[in-house]
């Protein structure tokens, strides 16, 4: 203590890399029994060069004052505060184990921590470490019911310890716990934050110590000597060895093909080809390591609901998200239950008999509609928690937004066209540049592919222009699903209750900026010499052609629903992003700045994709049951991956230019000019794209001031190479993959990934129920073709066209199942994180310049939201404002929970 009194108030080194002010001094806090650095002003922390933050300075004149005593480091205490997140609900087993852990904690089975310095110990040549510390108040706080509990631990460190860069945690309890963060106080540099957000497993399941790094980012070649070994070890642990079946508690990220969609052990009808490989190229998914099926050694055995499928432990839904998803899934089961029962009781309930039947799903609910008695319900094994089931509330569908302003909007041609640019699938419209349109399929395989569209079909709808004049004036547009469907039509139409065309729809752009459908081409597979293989339907002139036109539009919508779900939504956001996520965890350390940037945009994606493999895209799953292609759904997705998907064209500006919806123009705000100015998805999307790009560019330039740093960043290069060569192995030889050599390259790649994970997914996902929840507006499948005069069905059609139309739509069972599922998929969970938000916003990075730039990005996102609201009130923008017109809010960044038809989450999380 004499030494302490002797040096109190002595100025610290003025050349410190951490402080640039000489107005600081070292003092001893007797209450805390530790040294503290009193300072008035702190300069910016220089990344990778933190030094001189221990309680004792090594300044020469200080050594002289202290004499020989200064050669021996002084020990002092620092305190750690751990924030642990409690479960909202505990079952009996959880409660018992929790109490057992509280009891055994008192006798030495503790949570043990140890600080690791960024510096090496000159004696051991290993990193400097503090004494071990235990959470001393675990048992005392074991009965707290709060959402979060703060526990404390105290470490003894030497005065020459340096800056803590990592902390290890050993859980000697029986039960895992969710560690949200750790803050260490008592060092001269101020509080040191460790963002954890991870489940810490019991040492009986995973004997090794968990490693958590501070929020200070480091490029690989800047890694302090004391952290290099831990950085490499953590990545080795996350990669695993590619062997064995993964346990649910594992944290291993690896790749596999989609060889688990079918279940051949159930029979030939449930066998499905593997996706990924030369025959059916596809992105890779997260490896689970399950054994093969008995019937097919190339197919992986399945885990069926309700048993969980493996994803790395930290990728699982948090409790509030799980509850919201489970509730939605339960509703989907219940919604599907009664129609299924009633279909068995009476074949008359198979189809909707009138539009009133459909309306009653929202007003009366299934219970009242079908008059199911209490005696029947009492026999059903329903969860006790469903108190309102018998009242019908849980089986009453919410009114889809498409009906909220105009119940009959779906019948109008202008609304049919408006949804092409402002609905749930606004990414297929393209500018028509050649008439008639041409197929890209191989005529040697698919026969003559000439379009049936002729000038006479559209000439009367061009406002007095010739077709060539309309093309040159950028007045003609098209939604072309011909090539996506034609190769599969024979097989689809051979399925029971499935009928499809390969469609092309031509639109004319009016001077008011709105679209009008003017021709629909319907093609069947040219399997024989039949004049019916192609036909063109044009806007109606009488009652008969009106119903023909309605049926043609319904077939277009069914085509569009399939391409939307299988290609644009599932493939281009969910499936194609997953390899980048797997590679990021395997190759980028948690302390890598690029991992920190991507982290919020990877949340929940692996879990929702695993759930999709389990119940949505699998054999006989929801997608096959509810969409026209049936068992061929995922083969259509794979065909699109092979022939259409290109990472370099997945960014918004490149995609708009590819579709002819924009042209490059450096004089415009976003470097391009929209051909159709009132294109809500593109207009709002470009604002968000630019905000993401500007944020990413600042971030990248901050850490990579010259290109050599990018080329020499072994983790970054390994991440990008593995994403391509392993994650997208089937397309790794493609010429179009962007290079990664400059800051602009990296900015473009990261902006594209973040765009796909956030705004692009939001635009394609959260309108599914608001637009598709009313099945006539957007039927996911069709069961009848349009009858020709020579068909036996033509008489049925002429006698009762409404009945024929309804019988062509999905059945009651198919419709209600589809409605329940897209209701779940359109729902925001209470714990959603939206663009411009992130957990622990001010401490996720230890770089103050970056934190400040993120706040600026958040402010820009809010400004964009205000601009979108303003646009939706602008009467001159007729595609988003007008009598009965829905505002376009799918790219409005924020949202509350539930089905809101707005909100841009950070990640593909549903």
Q: Which residues are catalytic?
A: 569, 574, 761, 765, 910
Q: Is 789 exposed, middle or buried (0-12, 13-18, 19+ CB in 10 A)?
A: exposed
φ/ψ of residue 500, rounded to 5 = -145, 155
* Residues recorded for the chain: 910
CA atoms 585, 590, 592, 598: torsion sign: positive
β-bridge pairing 177-185 and 127-129 = unpaired
Parallel/antiparallel/unpaired status of strands 285-286 and 429-431: unpaired
Note the Cα 135 to chain centre separation in Å.
36
Nearest-5° angle of CA 855, CA 860, CA 866?
Answer: 130
- Among 402, 502, 365, CA closest to 446: 502
- Tokens 């490989």: give the residue: 277
Phi, psi of 728 (to 5 degrees): -120, 50
**Cα separations (Å) of 813 from 334, 342, 723, 741?**
12, 9, 41, 54
* Rounded (10°) angle between helices 543-563 and 633-643: 70
**Share of the chain residues as helix, strand and coil, in percent rounded to the nearest 5:** 45, 15, 45
Is the Cβ–Cβ distance between 189 and 53 less than 8 Å? yes
Question: Is residue 75 left, alpha or beta, with left meaning phi > 0 and alpha meaning psi from -120 to 50?
Answer: beta
Give the end-to-end CA distance of the chain in Å, rounded to a whole number.
60
Alpha-carbon torsion, ordered 823, 562, 879, 515, to 10 deg = -160
How far is residue 168's CA from residue 762's CA, in Å, rounded to a whole number? 38
3-state SS string over 868-884? HHHHCCCCCCCCCCCCC
Do the beta carbons of residue 794 and residue 299 sit within 8 Å? no
3-state helix/strand/coil string of 317-333: CCHHHHHHHHHHHHHHH
From CA 254, how far away is CA 266, in angstroms rounded? 28
Whether 500 and 492 have beta carbons less than 8 Å apart is answered as yes
Element (H, E) at 520: strand 515-523
Three-state DSSP class for residue 534: strand
Measure Cα distances from 734 to 76, 642, 730, 739 in Å.
59, 11, 9, 12
Pairing of strands 75-85, 177-185: antiparallel
CB 536 within 8 A of CB 521: yes
- Which phi and psi (to 5°) does residue 318 adopt? -70, 170
Strands of the sheet containing 177-185, edge to edge, are 148-158, 75-85, 177-185, 192-200
Backbone φ and ψ of 862, nearest 5°: -65, -40
CA distance 193 to 184: 7
Quick one: how far is CA 680 from the chain centroid? 22
Q: How many helices (H) and strands (E) does the chain have?
A: 31, 22
Q: What residues contact 23, with CB distance under 8 A and at least 6 apart?
A: 39, 40, 41
Assess contact for 799 and 588: CB atoms under 8 A.
no
- 199 φ, ψ to 5°? -80, 130
Contacts of residue 197, defined as CB under 8 A and 6 or more positions apart, other chains included, come to 179, 180, 181, 314, 839
């Amino acid at each position: 203590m004499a030494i302490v009194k002797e040096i109190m108030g002595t100025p610290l080194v003025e050349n410190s890399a951490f402080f640039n002010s000489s107005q600081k001094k070292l003092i001893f806090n007797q209450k805390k029994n530790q040294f503290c650095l009193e300072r008035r002003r702190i300069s910016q922390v220089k990344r990778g060069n933190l030094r001189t933050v221990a309680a004792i300075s090594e300044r020469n004149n200080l050594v002289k004052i202290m004499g020989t005593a200064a050669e021996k480091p002084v020990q002092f205490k620092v305190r750690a505060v751990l924030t642990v997140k409690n479960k909202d609900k505990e079952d009996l087993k959880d409660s018992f184990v929790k109490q057992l852990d509280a009891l055994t904690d008192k006798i030495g089975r503790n949570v043990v921590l140890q600080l690791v310095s960024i510096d090496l110990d000159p004696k051991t040549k290993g990193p400097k470490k503090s004494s071990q510390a235990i959470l001393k108040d675990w048992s005392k706080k074991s009965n707290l019911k709060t959402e979060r509990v703060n526990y404390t631990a105290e470490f003894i460190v030497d005065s020459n310890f340096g800056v803590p860069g990592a902390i290890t945690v050993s859980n000697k309890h029986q039960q895992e716990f969710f560690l949200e963060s750790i803050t260490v106080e008592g060092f001269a540099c101020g509080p040191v934050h460790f963002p954890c957000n991870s489940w810490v497993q019991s040492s009986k399941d995973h004997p090794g110590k968990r490693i958590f790094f501070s929020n200070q980012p480091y490029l690989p070649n800047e890694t302090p000597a004391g952290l290099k070994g831990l950085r490499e070890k953590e990545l080795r642990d996350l990669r695993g060895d590619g062997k064995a079946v993964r346990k649910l508690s594992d944290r291993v990220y690896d790749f596999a093909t989609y060889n688990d969609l079918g279940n051949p052990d159930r029979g030939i009808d449930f066998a499905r080809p593997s996706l990924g490989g030369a025959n059916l190229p596809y992105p890779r998914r997260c490896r689970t390591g399950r054994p093969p099926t008995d019937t097919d050694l190339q197919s992986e055995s399945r885990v069926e609901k309700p048993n969980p499928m493996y994803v790395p432990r930290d990728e699982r839904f948090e409790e509030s998200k799980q509850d919201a998803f489970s509730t939605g899934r339960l509703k989907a089961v219940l919604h599907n239950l009664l129609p299924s029962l009633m279909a068995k009781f009476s074949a008359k309930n198979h189809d909707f008999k009138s539009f009133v039947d459909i309306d009653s799903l929202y007003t009366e609910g299934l219970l009242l509609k079908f008059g199911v008695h209490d005696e029947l319900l009492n026999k059903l094994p329903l969860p006790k928690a469903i108190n309102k089931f018998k009242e019908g509330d849980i089986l009453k569908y919410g009114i889809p937004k498409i009906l909220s302003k105009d119940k009959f909007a779906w019948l109008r041609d202008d609304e049919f066209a408006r949804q092409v640019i402002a609905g749930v699938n606004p990414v297929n419209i393209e500018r028509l540049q050649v008439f008639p349109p041409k197929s890209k399929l191989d005529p040697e395989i698919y026969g003559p592919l000439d379009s049936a569209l002729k000038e006479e079909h559209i000439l009367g709808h061009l406002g007095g222009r010739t077709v060539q004049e309309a093309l040159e004036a950028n007045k003609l547009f098209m939604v072309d699903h011909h090539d996506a469907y034609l190769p599969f039509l024979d097989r689809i139409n051979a399925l029971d209750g499935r009928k499809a065309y390969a469609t092309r729809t031509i639109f004319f752009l009016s001077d008011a900026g709105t679209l009008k459908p003017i021709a629909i081409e319907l093609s069947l597979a040219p399997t024989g010499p039949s004049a019916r293989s192609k036909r063109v339907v044009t806007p109606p002139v009488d009652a008969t052609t009106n119903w023909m036109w309605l049926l043609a539009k319904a077939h277009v919508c069914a085509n569009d629903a399939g391409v939307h779900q299988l290609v644009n939504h599932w493939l281009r956001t969910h499936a194609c992003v997953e390899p980048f996520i797997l590679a990021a965890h395997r190759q980028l350390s948690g302390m890598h700045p690029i991992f920190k940037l991507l982290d919020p945009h990877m949340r929940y994606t692996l879990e929702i994709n695993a759930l999709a493999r389990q119940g949505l895209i699998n054999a006989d799953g929801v997608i096959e049951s509810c969409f026209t292609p049936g068992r061929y759904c995922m083969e259509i997705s794979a065909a699109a991956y092979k022939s259409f998907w290109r990472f370099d064209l997945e960014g918004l500006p490149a995609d708009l230019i590819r579709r002819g919806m924009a042209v490059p123009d450096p004089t415009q705000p976003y470097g391009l000019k929209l051909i159709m100015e009132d294109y809500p998805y593109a207009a709002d999307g470009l604002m968000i794209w630019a905000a993401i790009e500007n944020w990413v560019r600042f971030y990248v330039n901050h850490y990579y001031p010259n290109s050599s740093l990018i080329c020499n960043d072994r983790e970054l290069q390994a991440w990008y190479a593995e994403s391509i060569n392993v994650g997208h192995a089937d397309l790794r030889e493609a010429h179009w993959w962007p290079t990664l050599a400059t800051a602009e390259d990296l900015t473009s790649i990261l902006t594209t990934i973040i765009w796909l994970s956030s705004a692009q997914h939001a635009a394609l996902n959260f309108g599914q129920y608001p637009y598709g929840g009313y099945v006539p507006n957007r039927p996911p499948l069709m069961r009848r073709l349009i009858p020709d005069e020579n068909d036996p069905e033509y008489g049925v059609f002429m006698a009762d066209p409404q009945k024929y139309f309804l019988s062509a739509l999905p059945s009651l069972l198919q419709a209600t199942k589809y409605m329940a599922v897209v209701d779940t998929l359109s729902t925001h969970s209470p714990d959603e994180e939206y663009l411009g938000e992130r957990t622990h916003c001010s401490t996720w990075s230890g770089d103050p310049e970056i934190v400040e730039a993120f706040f600026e990005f958040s402010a820009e996102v809010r400004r964009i939201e205000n601009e979108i609201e303003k646009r939706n009130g602008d009467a001159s923008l007729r595609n988003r404002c007008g009598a009965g017109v829905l505002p376009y809010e799918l790219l409005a960044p924020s949202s509350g929970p539930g089905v809101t038809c707005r909100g841009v989450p950070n990640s593909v999380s549903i």
